[in-house]
Chain A
Amino acid sequence: MAQRAGGDDSEFTRRAADGGSAPSRREDARLVRGAGCFVADLLPEDCLEVVFVSSPVAHGEMGAVDVDDARRMPGVAAVWSAADLPAVPQTPPMLGITASAGRAWPALAVDRVRYVGQPVAIVLAADRYVAEDARDAVRLDISPLPVLLDPTDAAGSEVELFLGMPNVAVEKEYGDPIDPAVWRDAAVVVEGNYRQQLLAHTSMEARAILIRPEDDDGLTVWCSHQAPHRLRGDLAAALGLPEERIRVVVPDVGGAFGGKSETYPEYLAVAVAARRLGRTVRWVEDRAEALTGPPHGRGQNQRTRMAADADGRILAYELTIDADVGGYPHLGAFVPLNTSVMAAGAYQIPRVHVQTRCVVTNTAPTSPYRGAGRPEAATAIERTVDTLARRLGMDPAKLRQRNFIRPDALPYRTPTGFQYDSGDYPAALALAMRTVDYDGWRAQQAQRRRTGTGAPLGIGICSYLERSGNAWEFGSVEACPDGTYLALSGCCSTGQGHETSFPQVVASVLGVEPELIRLVEADTAIVPRGIGSYSSRSMQTGGAALHRAAGALMEQARGRAAESWAVPIEEVTYRAGTVSAGQRRVSLADLAAATGPLRADEVFEPPQAAPYGTYIAVVEVEPELGTVSVLRLVAVDDYGVVINHVIVRGQSYGSIAQGLGQALYEQVRYDPDGVPETRSLLDYLIPTLSEVPPVTLREMCTPNPNTALGAKGAGEAGCIGAPAAVINAVVDALDLDDPSAIQMPLTPFACWQARQPALAGAGR
């Protein structure tokens, strides 16, 4: 019998309930009173509402855009297509992605449309309802062209989505090609074809931006975003403005999950409108628009091949990826890099070769989605390892234990060029097995199979390894004359609780109460530099930068005191907000008041880190209906040093729910003409409370050896570990010989079909 949600045996339940050892989040006070401030909650006077006319056609030649009727409607301030603008800004390429060259993504479509939802015209009115009326009065003339929806098909198609340019926008290779003799001579070779379906980020708050033109020809921009400084730079580049004329403020953000670190054409169109009209203008995306995308996440076709000797030692692994980057290559073109460098997971495999192609199609442009290439990597190798175990007749746990990189082999450089830092991968699997009672479930599975009673039961393992962090981050700590401390970070919380956890980091270094520390981030007028929050990097990189800044502040205070007391710095000691030498003693507050600002700025770029862990799922598949019930899910994660356990466990739990969403329910679907079919939350199904099974979380802690703080990063692991664990469990339950026969999401129909291929084939 399946246990439903509400099972309270979880470690999470017990630990979080046992008395609130962690402080309440500072963010909560306003958010539970409805006093948070999201972009749509800013209600400036005389603000115009933006509604976009978007393409209903996935690929087509643009004729004239007839805006006359719309313009004549009372209350409409402006309606413009690209033809009405003297210049149409183009979305700047991100992270130096060369794929964008020659494939520019204009603020409003010019000549061609390449996905349903592409903005074609912008409508402005004081009233949103009126703006939507006017949108509906705009007439489009678009001649349809052939539509390409699958990256592998698009790579081989003669239809050029960008004239004179290949549909394969980027092609890359990691590791050395594997000698054919390895495949020929190996005792066992297994192969698989896996589909990473397109997903919708579905942050509860969709995209939103508000722009106010300023007297100096500059702009103040409020945007629901993950990377305010990047947005400022992109807006400046696209609009031809100096960066200092643009101030970006990110207020409360209602979730992001990778979909809000980009600069989108809509933002540029809103900026153009605000400048042309000299009015404050806002765009608040609705759910139908958000589900249509961009962005979408995932979208990879994967082929794997793995060779092993007769004892199950893996000799070689090959992964080939066709990644869907949608109508315009944007940040989605970065994602396969993550998949590639961590392709071999936690295993010591001597030969690893990855080939990736980023392919333009007529789906909405893709972006990173929580996990961002890592779930794709983990699912590919973990499904393949399970296939190998099956072929060898070995227990999949034993096969993993045989191939893990041993702790004493760390740090370890993979054949695809990524360095793993520290950890104990075998121990994570062992802990997960003990926690879930692996042997007990295997015994029960054997009994059910022997007696033919009970629903098919499966146990699935995913031993994942991820790549966290990216580039540098800014952190600053200042001792204020009033006795408080001001911390600045270039990160940007989108629900992770930085206002609570970052002061904890600073307080731990300074030896003062966290209450004395105030965090400011996400305002480019106050924070001089920064990148933002993604790649599980906030604590791993941003926290580490603040940790160093706090240390530097202590040094600065000692130096300042030594100077004013005319003693050698070695005689000055720091303790809990004061410095002293002999009988002399002064607080940092008084020192700052007496001698001027005490502030330490740090820019820190640690190497990427490698959090890891093992997830084990136990599932039943209802044989008649194909319904999957997850009976147990155990997650063992090593995030390195954890600063706030309550926040991190919350991240784990929520990330697991999203991972289950990918495994079982979620998929962006297009009809053959490229029109999205999943445009409401009745069609695009994200988990509710009833779909979340009993989850047990266990933490291990191997500090990040490359930062003094020791955090490796958290937040994405659930999305990485849960899908592969669930799908391996379902394949195990269904006893499938061809694992490629079933793809995510594991809907009842998919499971039923995989179980009865002959019947399903006849019924279609």
Chain B
Amino acid sequence: MRVTLTVNGERRELEVEARRTLADALRENCRLTGTHLACEHGVCGACTVLVDGEAVRSCLMFAVQCDGREVRTVEGLAGADGTPHPLQEAFSAEHALQCGFCTPGFLMLAAGALQEDPSIADDPDRLRELLTSNLCRCTGYESIRRAVTRAAGELAGGAS
């Protein structure tokens, strides 16, 4: 089937089988391998991307479901001039990654949430629930929580 996605602002026309997941379409067809597959059954969240601004697990969505929609992946998180997103800087500053395999998923999860409601980082319970969506086997999560809080502060500071 022929589908048209806008990925990180770029229009992509793809010929895909109906059963092809969005994750595989992004990784193999678009060669955007920053989106990682770690469980392929929607539990770990490593493959999280934004579809029309909303965080989705790209292993649980078919590419054809995204026809005509906007997809944002970790490759589209930094500014057009390459300036890192505050989340990217904060993850590094807080040592919120070790092997880095789950990192793109956490970044996109947090990016979607902070875009939707920056105040989420002010509420420990909501932030905990948000970050409980995804799995990391290396860090023990505390540094990820701190990184998202730090980035939210940066984003709020930049907006004021």
Contact = CB atoms under 8 A, between A and B. Distances in A.
Contact of A650 (B46, B78, B91, B95): B95
A204 B44 CA distance: 8
B124 A6 contact: yes
A229 B92 CA distance: 31
A688 interface: yes
Contact of A689 (B46, B92, B145): B145
Contacts of B36: 38, 40, 204-205, 254
B103 A657 contact: no
B156 interface: no
A656 B137 CA distance: 11
Contacts of B144: 689
A13 B150 CA distance: 12
Contacts of A688: 132, 134-135, 141
Nearest to A31: B100
Interface string A253-266: 11101000000000
B99 A34 contact: no
Contacts of A206: 38
Interface stretch (A22-30, A80-88, A484-492): A22-30
Interface in B35-54: 35-41, 43-44, 46
A132 to B, nearest CB: 10
Interface in B85-102: 88, 91-95, 97-102
Contacts of B34: 33-36
Contacts of A252: 99-101
B28 A36 contact: no
Given A41-B33, A692-B141, A695-B140, A33 B39 contact: no
B66 interface: no
A286 interface: yes
Contacts of A203: 99, 101, 137
B43 to A, nearest CB: 4
A32 B107 contact: yes
A254 B99 contact: yes
Interface in A138-194: none
Q: Is the interface of B mostly helix, strand, loop or mixed?
A: loop
B38 to A, nearest CB: 5
A97 B95 CA distance: 38
Nearest to A10: B142
Contacts of A651: 98
A650 B100 contact: no
A761 B99 CA distance: 45
B114 to A, nearest CB: 15
A206 B142 CA distance: 23
A283 to B, nearest CB: 14
Contact of A34 (B37, B41, B104, B134): B104
- Which of A5, A38, A252, A655 is most buried by chain B, counting CB atoms within 10 A of its CB? A5
Interface string A490-530: 00001111000000000000000000000000000000000
Contact of B95 (A25, A34, A689, A695): A25
B131 interface: yes
A24 B90 CA distance: 10
Given A17-B146, A204-B135, A129 B141 contact: no
Contacts of A95: none
A647 B95 CA distance: 7
A204 B137 contact: yes
Nearest to B37: A40
Interface in A27-73: 27-29, 31-38, 40-41, 43
Given A24-B93, A34-B73, A202-B137, A680 B31 contact: no
B43 A681 contact: yes
A12 B33 CA distance: 33
A750 interface: no
A126 to B, nearest CB: 11
B21 to A, nearest CB: 10
Contact residue range for chain A? 35 or more
B17 to A, nearest CB: 7
A40 B99 CA distance: 15
Contacts of B77: 33-34
Nearest to A679: B41
Nearest to A37: B33
B137 A34 contact: no
Contacts of A32: 74, 84, 88, 91-92, 97, 100, 103, 107
A287 B73 contact: no
Contacts of B43: 680-682
A686 interface: yes
Contact of B100 (A27, A680, A690): A27
A406 interface: no
A658 interface: yes
A646 B95 contact: yes
B146 A13 contact: yes
Given A287-B41, A497-B98, A690 B128 contact: yes
A291 B124 CA distance: 32
Given A25-B92, A33-B78, A254 B140 contact: no
Given A33-B78, A33-B88, A34-B73, A129 B17 contact: yes
A233 interface: no
B141 A287 contact: no
B92 A29 contact: yes
A690 B134 CA distance: 11
Contact of A686 (B19, B107, B132, B137): B137
A682 B78 CA distance: 33
B97 to A, nearest CB: 6
A206 B40 CA distance: 11
B100 A28 contact: yes
A134 B144 CA distance: 41
A20 interface: yes
Contacts of A286: 40
A494 B137 CA distance: 12
A40 B33 contact: yes
B132 A689 contact: yes
A105 interface: no
Contacts of B24: 128
A654 interface: yes
Contact of A254 (B17, B40, B100): B100
Contacts of A686: 135, 137
Contact of B97 (A31, A35, A38): A31
A5 B135 contact: no
B65 interface: no
B115 interface: no
A20 B93 contact: yes
A328 interface: no
Contacts of B104: 34
A43 B143 contact: no
Closest 5 CB pairs of A and B: A34-B34, A495-B99, A254-B101, A31-B100, A34-B74
Given A40-B27, A204-B136, 8 more contacts: A5-B145, A33-B74, A34-B35, A287-B39, A657-B141, A688-B135, A690-B129, A695-B142
Interface of A: 4-6, 10, 12-13, 16-17, 20, 24-25, 27-29, 31-38, 40-41, 43, 128-129, 202-206, 252-255, 257, 286-288, 494-497, 646-647, 649-651, 653-658, 680-682, 686-690, 692, 695
10 contacts: A6-B128, A28-B91, A33-B74, A33-B78, A38-B33, A254-B101, A497-B98, A653-B140, A654-B138, A657-B139
